[in-house]
Chains A and B, each alone.
Chain A
Amino acid sequence: MADIFDAYALADAWDEMFERPGEVRTAYEPVLAALQPIEPSELRFRADQMARAFTDRGVTYAFAGEERPWPLDLVPRILDALEWDLIQRGVSQRVRALEAYLADAYGPARAFEDGVVPWRLLLNSPHFHRAAHGVEPPGGVRIHVAGIDLVRDEAGDFRVLEDNVRVPSGVSYVIENRRAMTRIFPSLFSEQHVVPVDGYAQRLLAALRAAAPDGAQDPRVVVLTPGPSNAAYFEHALLARLMGVQLVEGHDLVCRGNRVWMRTTRGEVPVHVVYRRLDDDFLDPLHFRPDSVIGCPGIMSAALAGHVTLANAVGNGIADDKLLYTYVPDLIRYYLSEEPVLPNVESFRPDEPGQLEAVLDQIDQLVVKPVDGAGGQGIVIGPKADAATLERTRKAVLADPRGFIAQRPVALSTSPTLAGERMAPRHIDLRPFAVNDGNDVWVLPGGLTRVALQEGNLIVNSSQGGGSKDTWVLAEGPAEPPAPAAEGASGLPEVAPRQHGPDGTPTVVQEGAQQQ
């Protein structure tokens, strides 16, 4: 019988499913056992079914101007309890350190005075907003939601690739991927103890409400979207719906007297917390880009006056600048007095004396990234680049050393992925999502695993044609038994007997009714 794993040849990287050819890792045994007997055509059928369901449900993303079903691969990515514990601690630690950095940078600036981070890092950052200086956000939270990108290196160690603390997106796909997978492989879920992901929206809403300005009795939270034409509109709508809050566009809001109101059929209603899904630059034409029509004029002043909370806070960009990334391990030690749980990828700062030459010399062996590029744009992978590209990159770095970092290339781990009718290794990464309510940084169990669908490709962003996988965090030991029913349920609940139609015998209920 044809086996979909027959042609599976391990790449030169850590493979998530196979330790060695034919030798499956423990956590993956049930999945392999479930997948292996499936005929390729059957697998393809299920994949097509899933794509159709995504299309019908509107779970799509824009690729090259076209609405495509969200690409979910059928093979899940599995993290056992130990791996998850590490990731969860590492992500939470990272967010706490970045929070501390933001509070410091927009406040006393101790880390700069103490020489942990050079002043120029802050002052040269295009994301440093004077408007955010001196603002004390409610609960001290500036990063309400974070997405920390992780990769797994050749040795199987997780490393942080980048931090996203501005407007990280993708969490809706975690929720949708799980929903789709439980429908396609129901039996697998009943056998394994996969930690659920459906608590995200409630956590987020609780954190957003906790971030409301003082004095807001029953704070009103809204999600601010650029509108249906935005690539992430699906996510904005999903989060608003799951939280049960309004999804507003800029022109639904109006600012008056440094307060924010939304236009409703019953007049203008005050808004206290805006979970905004647009970048700083587009938020308020009065403060930022005057040509932006998707924001809300005056919202920044309302935030400065403390009448509305913007989540995430304005100016967070200084914390996910890729150059700052290289300092995060130091920041963890400095602010938290802890050792980093998750290491960075080895990085160079062309900006720093001495390192520029080192970077230029070995540019053909390094990955060069613009410090504020997004979506994999502008990244040059030295070992794969041609001479002309390398020369161009060398010149660009020389002209603007502050604008780039360089990293040792990491062969991201691979995971079996359906390619045509066969399994093939494809590189993956992981974006766990953290929610900070001011007391606790909670990490959604799992996160978004992205897949580079082309062979050998190391860039996994969906804007570059990447796919995704459902990420399973396995609970330690057997799943907890379901909680007992509501209080007072000493035995079976009392259920009235079923009524029957005319062709049935008269029922107790009908007789009872006649007696009254």
Chain B
Amino acid sequence: MSDVILSRIAEALTWTGRYVERADATGRILDAYLHRLLEDPWRDEDLACRSLYAILGVDAGDERVDMQQVLDQLAFDAHSTCSIEGALGAARLNARSAREAVSSEMWECLNSTWHALADQRLAARRTGPYAYLELVRRRAALFFGLADSTMSRDDSWRFVVLGRSLERVDMTVRLLSVRVLDAAHAPDWPTLLSASGADEAYARVHSGFGDTPRVAQFLLLDRDFPRSALHALTTAEECLSALGRPRQDPARRPIGRLRTRLEYLDSQALEDQLPLLLSDLQQACMASAEAVEQRFFPHQGPVEWAQEGA
């Protein structure tokens, strides 16, 4: 009976995957920035905060911004799905409406996380946000770990993974975009790597030597690192190919194209094309997400039953 999945459930699962990934990535980015800021007292707080806002696509306004404001807006704001709390709340509601499709353990993970956040938020006011951010990271890892170990590799699971992958590409691209497009707000490369959870993996591959082109190459093109754009695109494409039948899949096509382009890109070309590539990546993910929506979860129009009545 698990051969089919309701459109509504598929949509909820995709967004659950997306929102948990978003909370996780946002948590990592905040953590990396906070850490840098503390370790380097000469850094300009206002500037660093602005670069954070830029990454996450939130308007910073004209006033000076400090870390507390960033946290209030990007971590604790329950009303915005761009913040950690908002994203986790939305993930919980989506999982709740798909409770017979996600495993109990996955649902409990999200639900207990949601209940634990309030305490950690209060604690963060006293001792700083680290425990809060760590909780988010751990729970996100737990959630996806549970998805991998308690769900069948059926369409339900594919929608969760698809959502996670698309969000992952988006977040990685956002991180790099700030570096590439707006040098004034640019984070340095170690911050960038640790914000993607990639610092250690990168150090192992490149023996600890870093510069921006190499970091960009790693975060975009590395085949083995799960947060690289190439890896996430490949995963998304695999999910779509297992979900879909049509030859010309409008959901798969845009990301498939990008994937092949990345696969054969050499490092010089990468450097030259970087700005264009990043915006193409973002476009492709958006186009794919829209196509998924149209194909798998078409929204019902207004209810019509006049002719059924007879």
State the CA gap A241–B296 with chains docked (Å).
22
User: 8 Å CB contacts to A: which residues of B1-18?
Assistant: 1-10
Min Cβ gap A175→B in Å is 12
State the CA gap A269–B243 with chains docked (Å).
17
Task: Say if the beta carbon of A298 comes within 8 Å of chain B.
Answer: yes
Cβ contact within 8 Å between A58 and B97 = no
Cβ contact within 8 Å between A244 and B108 = no
Task: Say if the beta carbon of A251 comes within 8 Å of chain B.
Answer: yes
What are the residues of chain B within 8 A of A223 when measuring CB–CB?
100
State the CA gap A263–B309 with chains docked (Å).
20
Task: Say if the beta carbon of A285 comes within 8 Å of chain B.
Answer: yes
- Interface flags for B110-137 (1: CB within 8 Å of A; 0: not) read 0110010000000000000000000000
Cβ contact within 8 Å between B4 and A244 = no
Task: Say if the beta carbon of B104 comes within 8 Å of chain A.
Answer: yes
- Which of B99, B108, B159 counts the most A-chain CB atoms under 10 A from its CB? B99
State the CA gap A311–B10 with chains docked (Å).
26
The A/B interface has a contact count, at CB < 8 Å, of 86
Task: Say if the beta carbon of B305 comes within 8 Å of chain A.
Answer: yes
Cβ contact within 8 Å between B7 and A263 = yes
8 Å CB contact of B99 from A247, A249, A297: A247
Cβ contact within 8 Å between A58 and B96 = yes
Cβ contact within 8 Å between B100 and A247 = yes
- Interface flags for B290-310 (1: CB within 8 Å of A; 0: not) read 000000111010010100110
Task: Say if the beta carbon of A262 comes within 8 Å of chain B.
Answer: yes
Report if A237-B305 is in contact (Cβ < 8 Å); known contacts: A263-B6, A264-B5, A265-B155. Answer: no
What are the residues of chain A within 8 A of B112 when measuring CB–CB?
55-56
Task: Say if the beta carbon of B157 comes within 8 Å of chain A.
Answer: no
State the CA gap A241–B2 with chains docked (Å).
11
What are the residues of chain B within 8 A of A266 when measuring CB–CB?
3-5
Min Cβ gap B252→A in Å is 15
Cβ contact within 8 Å between A252 and B115 = no
Task: Say if the beta carbon of A248 comes within 8 Å of chain B.
Answer: yes
Task: Say if the beta carbon of B107 comes within 8 Å of chain A.
Answer: yes
Cβ contact within 8 Å between A57 and B6 = no
State the CA gap A181–B295 with chains docked (Å).
46
State the CA gap A467–B90 with chains docked (Å).
30
**Residue of B at shortest CB range from A242?**
B100
Cβ contact within 8 Å between B297 and A265 = yes
Cβ contact within 8 Å between B6 and A237 = no
Cβ contact within 8 Å between A264 and B308 = no
8 Å CB contact of A265 from B10, B93, B308: B10
Cβ contact within 8 Å between B300 and A251 = yes
User: 8 Å CB contacts to B: which residues of A225-267?
Assistant: 227-228, 237, 240-241, 244-249, 251-252, 255-256, 262-266
**Residue of B at shortest CB range from A249?**
B8
State the CA gap A301–B96 with chains docked (Å).
31
User: 8 Å CB contacts to A: which residues of B225-265?
Assistant: 243
Cβ contact within 8 Å between A58 and B111 = yes
Cβ contact within 8 Å between B108 and A240 = no
8 Å CB contact of A241 from B5, B100, B159, B298: B100
Min Cβ gap B69→A in Å is 31
What are the residues of chain B within 8 A of A256 when measuring CB–CB?
308
What are the residues of chain B within 8 A of A56 when measuring CB–CB?
108, 111-112, 115
Cβ contact within 8 Å between B104 and A241 = yes
Chain B interface size, as a band, is: 20 to 34
**Residue of A at shortest CB range from B303?**
A297
User: 8 Å CB contacts to B: which residues of A198-233?
Assistant: 220, 223, 227-228
Report if A228-B6 is in contact (Cβ < 8 Å); known contacts: A251-B300, A286-B309, A297-B303. Answer: no
Task: Say if the beta carbon of A32 comes within 8 Å of chain B.
Answer: no
**Residue of A at shortest CB range from B10?**
A265
State the CA gap A55–B114 with chains docked (Å).
10
State the CA gap A264–B298 with chains docked (Å).
10
Cβ contact within 8 Å between B303 and A293 = yes
Report if A255-B96 is in contact (Cβ < 8 Å); known contacts: A220-B1, A264-B4, A265-B155. Answer: no
State the CA gap A264–B297 with chains docked (Å).
8
Min Cβ gap A423→B in Å is 29
What are the residues of chain B within 8 A of A265 when measuring CB–CB?
4-7, 10, 155, 159, 243, 296-297
Cβ contact within 8 Å between B305 and A228 = no
What are the residues of chain A within 8 A of B111 when measuring CB–CB?
55-58
Report if A240-B7 is in contact (Cβ < 8 Å); known contacts: A265-B155, A265-B296. Answer: no
**Residue of A at shortest CB range from B110?**
A58
What are the residues of chain A within 8 A of B303 when measuring CB–CB?
251, 293, 297
State the CA gap A249–B3 with chains docked (Å).
19
State the CA gap A228–B303 with chains docked (Å).
20
State the CA gap A115–B168 with chains docked (Å).
73
State the CA gap A454–B221 with chains docked (Å).
65
What are the residues of chain B within 8 A of A237 when measuring CB–CB?
99-100
What are the residues of chain A within 8 A of B243 when measuring CB–CB?
265
Min Cβ gap B175→A in Å is 32
State the CA gap A245–B104 with chains docked (Å).
15
What are the residues of chain A within 8 A of B104 when measuring CB–CB?
57, 241
What are the residues of chain B within 8 A of A228 when measuring CB–CB?
93, 96-97
What are the residues of chain A within 8 A of B2 when measuring CB–CB?
244
**Residue of B at shortest CB range from A297?**
B305
Cβ contact within 8 Å between B100 and A298 = no
- Which of A249, A297, A301 counts the most B-chain CB atoms under 10 A from its CB? A297
State the CA gap A94–B300 with chains docked (Å).
44
What are the residues of chain B within 8 A of A247 when measuring CB–CB?
99-100
Cβ contact within 8 Å between A244 and B1 = yes
What are the residues of chain B within 8 A of A55 when measuring CB–CB?
111-112, 115
- Which of A55, A240, A246, A265 counts the most B-chain CB atoms under 10 A from its CB? A265
State the CA gap A256–B308 with chains docked (Å).
8
User: 8 Å CB contacts to A: which residues of B84-113?
Assistant: 93, 96-97, 99-100, 104, 107-108, 111-112
Cβ contact within 8 Å between B8 and A286 = no
State the CA gap A241–B103 with chains docked (Å).
9
What are the residues of chain A within 8 A of B10 when measuring CB–CB?
264-265
What are the residues of chain B within 8 A of A245 when measuring CB–CB?
1, 100
State the CA gap A78–B122 with chains docked (Å).
43
State the CA gap A252–B115 with chains docked (Å).
30
What are the residues of chain A within 8 A of B3 when measuring CB–CB?
266
Q: Interface on B for A, CB 8 Å cutoff?
A: 1-10, 93, 96-97, 99-100, 104, 107-108, 111-112, 115, 155, 159, 243, 296-298, 300, 303, 305, 308-309
Would you give 7 A-B contacts (Cβ < 8 Å), ordered by A?
Answer: A55-B112, A57-B104, A237-B100, A241-B104, A247-B99, A266-B4, A298-B308
Starting from the known contacts A57-B104, A264-B5, 4 additional A-B residue pairs (CB-CB under 8 Å) come to A55-B115, A56-B112, A263-B298, A265-B296
